[in-house]
Amino acid sequence: MTTKFLGKTVGKAPTGFKALDPIARVEAAHAYGVDYWNAYEFNYLDDKKIPVLKVLQILIPSSSTFTVESKSLKLYLNAFYKKSYSSDVDVLSKISKDLSKLTKSLIEAKFLKKFSSEPEALDINTTKRIYTKPLQIIKFTGFRSICPVTSQPDFANIYICSDLPIDTKWLRSYLVSYRDKGDFHEQCIENIYKDIASKYKITRLEVCGRFLRRGGIDINPIRSSHKKFFFSNFREFNQ
């Protein structure tokens, strides 16, 4: 995979739309889904040239033709620190317009004052249950995967809700198997969704990856069999 900036030393990077690097979606699951991107250190100037620091949420549908490469998005957002805007609406409109053009889909951007609460879940790392209960939210902690470009590790907690019981021993072993695999966050969750759905012939299934942030941004994909999701843009133990 060829990227503009990921895995490379960046000198004077382009700003604005030219800084963004599209990544084509591959092997999409037959599922509904969104990717929540949270930028915790988004900084720009108001109409009086006063710095404003906010948490920015970007919502990218999994049906988009492209997603955005994370390092290019960081460079794009970092350039806002010296730009002045008359209102929050103008800032968000600029981001939504640029990312919608890049991904060829409708992108939503908004500022957050708080996240949703972490859902209660059964920790399958430690449970003694052989099978999960139907429609019970389950959580796997310490998920690890490898960036396919830089070979650096990414970490997450994985949340799953299924209408059929799942063998906890099998699920633990399966999720542990990702520890040395190279895939982007979104593709990991796509594959987890597809493999569980295929093994159990599940009617209702949803998988959410709550990844730890890098460079002030985290990516949290959700894939679901239904349009209405169990999971939202939640935050774990105020991390």
CATH number of the 16-112 domain: 3.30.1130.10
Indicate if 147 belongs to the active site: yes
Distance CA 121, CA 162 (A): 12
Q: What integer is the mean pLDDT of 204-232?
A: 95
Residue 134 CB coordination number (10 Å): 13
pLDDT in tens, 31-55: 899 999 999 999 999 999 999 999 9
Examine domains 16-112 and 118-235 and report if their fold is the same.
Answer: yes
Q: Write the CB contacts of 45 (distance below 8 Å, at least 6 apart in sequence).
A: 51, 52, 81, 82, 83, 84, 85
Indicate if 208 belongs to the active site: no
Backbone torsions φ then ψ of 191, nearest 5 degrees: -70, -40
Choose the catalytic residue: 46, 88, 147, 167: 147
Choose the catalytic residue: 21, 154, 183, 218: 154
Q: What integer is the mean pLDDT of 136-165?
A: 95
Confidence of residue 28 (pLDDT cuts 50, 70, 90): low
Assign residue 168 a region: left if phi > 0, alpha if psi is -120 to 50, beta otherwise? alpha
Query: Domain map of the chain by residue range?
Result: 16-112, 118-235
Q: What percent of the chain has pLDDT over 70?
A: 92
CATH number of the 118-235 domain: 3.30.1130.10
pTM of the predicted protein model? 0.91
pLDDT for residue 26: 77
